[in-house]
Amino acid sequence: MNLFYFKTLDSTNLFAKKNIEKFNDKSVIYCDIQTNGRGRFDRKWLSNRKDNIFLSFILKPQEKNILKLPLTNLTQYLCVVLAKVIETYNVLTQIKWPNDVLINEHKISGILAECVWSGKDFRGLVLGVGVNLNYEKEDFVNIEQKATSLNLEIGQKINRDEFLKKLVDEFFKNYDDFLQIGFPLIRKEYVKRFLYLNCEICVNILNNKINGKIKTINNDGTLDIVEKETLCVRRVNIGDLTC
Ligand code: BTN
């Protein structure tokens, strides 16, 4: 595993994608500040303060393995890793499907997974993660979603480098096994933190909305939702969940 540090980047994901040929499998890029931090669905990711996590894993698993394993599963794996690392600071975490870690229903981290192809050739994966470690309450006033930061939860400054080391070590501890086994390897850890089981939710899938109750989380990490209007069960493998 190789760690690459930068003071400022536009975005660790953009940089990793642009330069993917130069990096080996299991490289990690991180920086102090991002000038164009990006989230899912083209949202912005707050990245203007140092001492937070702005990091991308560059992964080059064999194509046959990654085609077997949906990208969402890998983000769910990373989400469990994050939850465990955050809990070492004596706080409880929750998981909002598919891959947000929350504390008291306030988002603390986000994951952006991107595949890099050159024509039909698979070049690798970029798994970007942002964790709010050291922000002030006021930093979140213009953020749509309820958000928090680890320092605000435990009342003291967080050492970014210490957190980063824990995160990278924990990620690679079971990564090779996860590629072989997939979601069942983390199912128990995921489900015990899982929010909104049997709750009324709404999932936005591209321009479609499904309103209903989460019935179960399946062995492949997908959700079964009982649609409110029709009572039909819909299986969902991608989307943005709101309550
Ligand atoms: C989300 O919308 O929840 C995903 C946020 C992902 C943010 C991280 S920060 C490091 C990496 N670089 C980016 O530009 N985005 C991801």
Atom of ligand 1 nearest to the CA of 39: 2
pLDDT at 77: 97
State how far the Cα of 186 lies from the Cα of 189, in Å rounded to an integer: 5
Q: What is the mean pLDDT of residues 2-26?
A: 97
Res. 145: pLDDT tops 90: no
pLDDT score for 225: 94
What's the rounded mean pLDDT across residues 17-46? 96
Q: Which of 17, 50, 112 most suits a substitution to test ligand 1, by most atoms within 8 Å of the C-beta?
A: 112
What is the average per-residue pLDDT within 159-187?
A: 96
- Which of 125, 9, 8, 157 minimizes the C-alpha distance to 61? 125
> Using 50, 70 and 90 to split pLDDT, how confident is the model at 67?
low
CATH label, 2-193, candidates 3.10.20.30, 3.90.1150.10, 3.40.50.300, 3.30.930.10: 3.30.930.10
pLDDT at 82: 98
Ligand 1 in reach of 143 Cβ (< 6 A): no
Each residue of 80-129: pLDDT tens digit? 999 999 999 999 999 999 999 999 999 999 999 999 999 988 899 999 99
Report CA(199)–ligand 1 centroid distance (Å).
Answer: 27
- In eight-state DSSP terms, residue 136 is -
Query: Which residues pair with residue 100 across a beta bridge?
Result: 96
Q: What is the pLDDT of residues 111-125, one digit of tens each?
A: 999 999 999 888 999
Ligand 1 closest atom vs CA 99: 3
Best residue for ligand 1 mutational test, from 8, 38, 171 (most atoms within 8 Å of Cβ)? 38
CA of 79 to the centre of ligand 1 (A): 13
Q: Is 11 in the pocket of ligand 1 (CB under 6 A)?
A: yes
Ligand 1 nearest atom to the CA of residue 13, by list position: 12
- The pLDDT assigned to 50 comes to 93
Given a contact cutoff of 8 angstroms between Cβ atoms, the answer to whether 129 and 111 are in contact is: yes
Q: Rounded to whole angstroms, what are the CA distances from 37 to 53, 85, 129, 168?
A: 11, 22, 10, 20
Average pLDDT, the chain: 94
Domains of the chain, by residue range, sit at: 2-193, 200-242
Look at residue 240 in the predicted model and tell me its pLDDT.
87
Sequential DSSP letters for 26-70 = TEEEEEEEESS-B-GGG-B----SSSSEEEEEEE---HHHHHHS-
CATH number of 200-242: 2.30.30.100
For residue 60, report the distance from its CA to the centre of ligand 1, in Å.
Answer: 19
**148 or 69, higher pLDDT:** 148
User: For residue 154, what pLDDT is reported?
Assistant: 97
The residue whose CB lies within 8 Å of the most ligand 1 atoms, and thus the one to mutate among 5, 6, 10, 13, is 13
What pLDDT is stored for residue 70 in this prediction? 85
Plot region of 42 (φ>0 → left; ψ -120 to 50 → alpha; else → beta): left
